[in-house]
Chain A
């Protein structure tokens, strides 16, 4: 519990998004697959990129750490209840070992339009980039 604020250390910095990854970059491929999958509501589009343990948070849905198999079915149920109207990953960043992307997605559930934000984080497993964190909020 901090008592008073110490304005020491580095000055305020601003976070800006970095440029998208080149199209041929394996990370870009994964992000593109996720974007397309969320846009069309098709889990199979990106299910092969799901890591053995995926941390997921879904709006009005499940939240927790699931295996790739579980994540597949959980997402399938989510997309069945939430019809996608569009999705776009627009911001990219992260480190060499843990890139991420954020964006927006629009769904319709029970006739009500919902605007959500997406967060996708990857990590390296062997020679592949796998999805370890997926949030649709």
Chain B
């Protein structure tokens, strides 16, 4: 006989181990190939660099030329399509005179294609327009009206614009022309957090990985040095329109790029290799996970993978932005485990998995001590419990540090009430914190349970642990310098652990930690609840503290040395001018070109980024100004200062203080010589900036005019206002709620006078608002005190700000559910929706649909209300401005050319309190913010739809939504009328500088709306879950009871659920059915027992009769022989006695078997190792050489409580039946597995099988298919197993074999005495 594991995968690759080995070698080979490929590639590159460089440059050049061509073709298509529009054709043919329809069609085309569109009539007069304007296209329009298509690229101060002119034909005749305009290139990138503008060169540079320059000037030659390659650009009519220059790739840059790519690939391969290599031990460890060795091994594998990812810088190396960008979040914890949001999440997931693995270890399950300790033992236990308590609260403090880091080491605004549905990085960070706090919660419960078990008696243990936790909570607050959380919070956490540790899942043994497998939902629910309980107050506390730290950071920035910083700004400006002068544009002498240069230099400078009033100027060698750009509220001041600066080429910065008191301004200026490069004329660069005392020497340009301006410190969701006091009196303030007579409190002045306390926090109530104020002296000896204040958020807004946390949890639960359903679908299974699920879904749907509808309506109503309010405001403002302009009286009628002096413009803007523009026809004539148009931020042509509405339709007021890049703002338009009612101009008031206020108001209102609805939604979810559970609970209980009844358990009266109504009637009917079934079963059992006894008696009588007959015959024969005096009487006597003795033995055997069946032996119950007993039974059949036994068993099977000999006899019986069924030849498979609650044994033979009609009688006493025996074997087996609470089933296929399945409960479960 042999006992071996079955061979499942004959053949090399059918062996799992071989497959795994092959995969490892595959990755190893890939790694080696990658290294080789890298060397070969780099080497090839070095050898063929020139050819490769030329090929790439040519290819890049071809791409650039093609892209430009595509742009032209697209513009041409738009022009042709517009020309075929019915409204356009009708107007141009003179059939219709409806310019409004014409404007509508043109506007639609411009919006759909994001370009400018213009329609010209046969007289080359502009009939309708939409989108951006540009240089004059008269010549091109004429060409178009002559029937030819043409294109051109023209430069404006800020951009190069492509326009395509296309004739409009109708019935073979030309009736007009259409021109489309599109920005090709920006001469400087003015992109910030509001507006993104990228030209074709930037897009191509990103795509090709090299520098690209377009030059559309008339004599453009492109870059001449050997590092660039140049190609001409042709228009639609094959006319040269410009050149494109591509920088040849630098060898070092290309090699570095290749190296980086290979390094990333190698990192991924190394990771895959490692994962493949650990698969084998990991699988073994997974099987052993319930042992300490296996669990620790799994944890070690998990963290080695995590640290390998860290070492390889994955996945951050592949995804440098987004959640792996340290600008969003980075902490030094663990040497980089939390160096980004993504890394932090991976570490948290590894931590949670580790906890899950350790929690399933059998040895780590708490079990109450059986022995009562003495005094010494008790003291030792108390000391041990105290140490564990300290350890637990120390880890809790660590959690506080993690949450604090999430605020202080990140740029995420967790507390912003305007963010209800968080963006992905914030949601992931919240999820990470949720996982960690959930783990902390579960860990605390686990520790607490162990403490309960450790300390022995339950009630006393709970009391002792509660006292210890309370003491630790208080002590940590006293001892720690920076406790990171409040004492009440620690007390609540301790209380939650004490309470949760008392919970036991139904049906489980007391003191046992619930297994995740069986109560995953309950554990997840508890973890989520504890997570919320810990996270929300921690986060709120840190949000408040972080807001304060932001104020302190602003204070540091405010105290930054002004002179040094502004000198730096000036020096940077001079450097930008030098760089601009070194470009090909720097060679041009035209004033417009020099102005453009100055503008371009400004746009790239720190002065632009910081938003200072600035002048950039280029001077010739005699000091005469050849080009300039000025911007800002102090533009006139810097200009006058610049005019007075000497031609000093030393680069020293001069400073002048102008004015004093509140209006004091400091002006910084410097002139530097431009270092002549080859072919460059020498000259000077001059930069002047101004910073006002009132603006605290910071830039005061609006953010839309700043390049890449990040959000200023003082404008986050809790705006910081500044006030300055001198000797306690208020000098100035940006806080409109502070009255000008407000005094600095004496307490603050006293504290600040102490040298050891240069700063102090305080709370002030001013009017209806409460402010948190940070006060500091301007200098050590200064009498001036700077106070930075932020208003406390109302409770509602704070709650709204925190709603995002449970929303993230719900979102995660929904995603997890979806993933589960998808996994089931992939496996070919279907999720079985229970009654409770259907009930919950119906109730939620009934509530959600109207809630969503209300939410959408509410959002619409909020937006409508805000826009209405804005519209009213703009109406009033435009009316005031129009009145002021008309009232000046200088414009008698509509024929007067509309102009205003700059000081008048400023005065009107100041009086009305807003910026404005005035248009004459479609041209901009007046603006209080000329830099908006000089910098190219806005188009100077009147919006076509506005023209149509105000001039053509005669509307008094028109509100138009306009946009620059992705930034949308509103503009109000109104006609300026003369005394006769003629239109002399159109006033436009843009909200571009106030749009962020409008957006913030909108977002705050929406936030409150969403927040309230989110709270309602959460409440609905909770209430419906509770209700659904309560309604469905009786149904679920009845379902469980039905299964019990099917298994034969009919004593269910005490477990029936209490219910009313239809469910109550169902319960009563079920109870009646169970009672009837029990009665019927009892009667059946009785009848069967009687039948069985009768059958047995009949069989016994039959069996007894069998030997009696030959006994009688033998005795009769003996008597006759004696009477006959037979000569062989001795032999006959011997034979007869032998026969009689044999038959007596048979009778005795029959009696023994009967006695064995009927007798209830005295069992000796003990924990039995099923695997060992089965092996012993198998060994008894070792003499059967023709039988192959294959035995498989799980490691660490639970012990079963049984009589060892009795159980062995049962197995022997079953095995013998199988051996006999196989006729002594074949194989028997025995599998012993761990099952839920016990052990499952399967014994399968390859015998003749059992016919279906016989199977129901197998366990009947005295039933046998064999010629010998009493037929009691299986009946005894059944009885034995029944007494042990086990079940036995027999599956059989005739001529194929039989499988006997036995399920035995572990421990003392199911025992019957």
Contacts and interface: CB of A to CB of B under 8 A. Distances in A.
A73 B411 CA distance: 14
B560 A98 contact: yes
A99 B560 CA distance: 9
Contact of B409 (A67, A94, A102, A132): A67
Contacts of B252: 111
What range describes how many residues of B lie at the interface?
Answer: 35 or more
B637 A93 contact: no
B663 interface: yes
Interface in B659-677: 659-660, 663-665, 668
A121 B564 contact: yes
B708 A63 contact: yes
Contact of B609 (A57, A62, A93, A115): A57
A121 B655 contact: no
A98 B253 CA distance: 40
Contacts of A132: 556-557, 560
Given A64-B411, A72-B332, A94-B564, A14 B655 contact: yes
Nearest to B639: A5
Nearest to A2: B637
Contacts of A106: none
Interface in B639-670: 640-641, 652-660, 663-665, 668
A7 to B, nearest CB: 7
A99 B565 CA distance: 11
Nearest to B248: A111
Contacts of B68: none
Contact of A2 (B249, B251, B634, B910): B634
**Chain B CB within 10 Å, residue with most, of A5, A11, A14, A96:** A5
B563 A12 contact: no
B564 to A, nearest CB: 4
A42 interface: no
Contact of A55 (B331, B410, B553, B653): B553
A13 B654 contact: yes
A121 B556 CA distance: 10
A55 B339 CA distance: 19
B903 A3 contact: yes
Interface string B558-580: 01110111011001100100000
B914 to A, nearest CB: 14
Contacts of A57: 606, 609
B546 to A, nearest CB: 10
A45 interface: no
B710 A15 contact: no
Given A57-B609, A93-B563, A10 B408 contact: no
Contact of A93 (B329, B549, B561): B561
A70 to B, nearest CB: 4
B556 A53 contact: yes
Given A5-B640, A53-B549, A72-B332, A15 B559 contact: no
B266 interface: no
A66 B411 contact: yes
B615 to A, nearest CB: 13
Contacts of B408: 52, 67
Interface string A103-137: 00000001110010101010100000000110101
A57 B706 CA distance: 14
B1 interface: no
B659 A8 contact: yes
A11 B563 CA distance: 16
Given A12-B655, A53-B549, A135-B606, A123 B559 contact: yes
A2 B663 contact: yes
A97 B782 CA distance: 13
A40 interface: no
A121 B660 contact: no
B564 A102 contact: yes
Interface in B698-733: 708, 710-711, 713
Given A12-B656, A72-B332, A115-B575, A98 B559 contact: yes
A137 B711 CA distance: 18
B660 A133 contact: no
A53 B657 contact: no
B565 A137 contact: no
Contact of A69 (B332, B557, B560): B332
Nearest to A110: B253
Contacts of A77: 320, 326
B780 interface: yes
Given A52-B549, A53-B553, A121 B560 contact: yes
A47 to B, nearest CB: 9
A70 B410 contact: yes
B330 A69 contact: yes
A95 B332 contact: no
Nearest to B641: A5
B250 A69 contact: no
B694 to A, nearest CB: 10
Contacts of A10: 656-657
B1029 interface: no
A70 B326 contact: yes
Contacts of B657: 9-10
Interface string B745-780: 000000000000000000000000000000000011
B211 A112 contact: yes
Given A2-B634, A69-B409, A117-B568, A100 B656 contact: no
Contacts of A115: 575
Nearest to B407: A67
A78 to B, nearest CB: 10
A19 interface: no
A95 to B, nearest CB: 6
Contacts of A99: 561
Contacts of B779: 95, 97
A9 B659 CA distance: 6
Given A2-B634, A66-B327, A132-B556, A16 B652 contact: yes
Contact of B659 (A6, A14, A135): A6
Interface string B411-434: 100000000000000000000000
Given A2-B665, A73-B339, A74-B326, A123 B556 contact: yes
6 contacts: A5-B658, A15-B668, A55-B553, A65-B411, A65-B713, A66-B411
Given A2-B658, A9-B656, 18 more contacts: A1-B910, A2-B659, A2-B663, A6-B659, A8-B660, A9-B659, A14-B654, A64-B710, A66-B327, A69-B409, A70-B329, A72-B330, A77-B320, A95-B779, A102-B564, A112-B211, A117-B575, A121-B564
